[in-house]
């Protein structure tokens, strides 16, 4: 009983800190990876609508080239895809989308004027090169400034 360690058996040593300096870097790493994953998911979700608009635009281009769609109907559908993809209430030649670069404002005005002519004037039509230009510009605008 006179053993010096006999009274220390029930003493519990102090508990160390829950987070030490090495675990802080692990938390920052986990937080950084989670942020990157969330950013990637958000970008993919955001781009899904634009990709869908561009796919419908490509299908419309093929249908127009094959003659399955009249120019009048193609103009309405192209205008719809532009409005939906760029989140515009109405296509206006004087008010290009805010995300469109200033250098493309004249092309925007020309394209919207052509679409308006095709939609609202009887007997209006465009040749194949003008349709190709319209579709190419719409595809570029949806790719650059599409927001859905």
Judge contact between 78 and 138, C-beta under 8 A. Answer: yes
DSSP string, the chain: ---TTGGGTTPPPPPPPSS-HHHHHHHHHHHHHHHHHHHHHHHHHHHHHHHHHHHHHHHHHHHHHHTSS-HHHHHHHHHHHHHHHHT-SS--TTS--TTS-GGGHHHHHHHHHHHHHHHHSTT----HHHHHHHHHHHHHHHHHH---
Q: For residue 20, how far is the Cα from the chain centroid?
A: 42
Position of tokens 């109907």?
Answer: 73
Count of domains for the chain: 1
Q: How confident is residue 53, by pLDDT bands cut at 50, 70 and 90?
A: confident
Domain membership of residue 56 (yes or no) is yes
Q: State residue 17's pLDDT score.
A: 66
Q: Residues 123, 128, 134, 137: what is their CA dihedral angle, to the nearest 10 degrees? A: 180
Q: What is the domain extent for residue 55? A: 27-146
Render pLDDT for 84-131 as a digit per residue (tens, 0 to 9): 888 888 988 889 888 888 888 999 999 999 999 988 888 888 888 888
Domain membership of residue 53 (yes or no) is yes
Domain membership of residue 106 (yes or no) is yes
Q: State residue 47's pLDDT score.
A: 72
Q: State residue 76's pLDDT score.
A: 92
Judge contact between 84 and 57, C-beta under 8 A. Answer: no
Domain membership of residue 62 (yes or no) is yes
Domain membership of residue 22 (yes or no) is no
Res 18 pLDDT > 80: no
Q: State residue 22's pLDDT score.
A: 59
Q: Which two tokens stand for residue 124?
A: 């209006």
pTM above 0.75, yes or no: no
Q: State residue 30's pLDDT score.
A: 87
């Amino acid at each position: 009983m006179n053993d010096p360690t006999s009274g220390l058996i029930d003493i519990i040593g102090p508990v160390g800190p829950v987070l030490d300096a090495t675990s802080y870097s692990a938390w920052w790493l986990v937080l950084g990876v989670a942020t990157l994953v969330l950013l990637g998911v958000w970008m993919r979700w955001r781009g899904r609508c634009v990709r869908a608009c561009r796919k419908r635009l490509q299908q419309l281009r093929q249908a127009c080239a094959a003659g399955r769609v009249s120019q009048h109907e193609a103009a309405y559908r192209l205008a719809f895809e532009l409005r939906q993809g760029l989140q515009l209430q109405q296509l206006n030649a004087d008010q290009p989308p805010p995300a469109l670069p200033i250098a493309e404002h004249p092309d925007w005005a020309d394209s919207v004027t052509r679409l308006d002519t095709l939609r609202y004037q009887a007997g209006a039509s465009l040749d194949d090169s003008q349709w190709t230009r319209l579709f190419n510009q719409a595809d570029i605008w949806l790719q650059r400034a599409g927001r859905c």
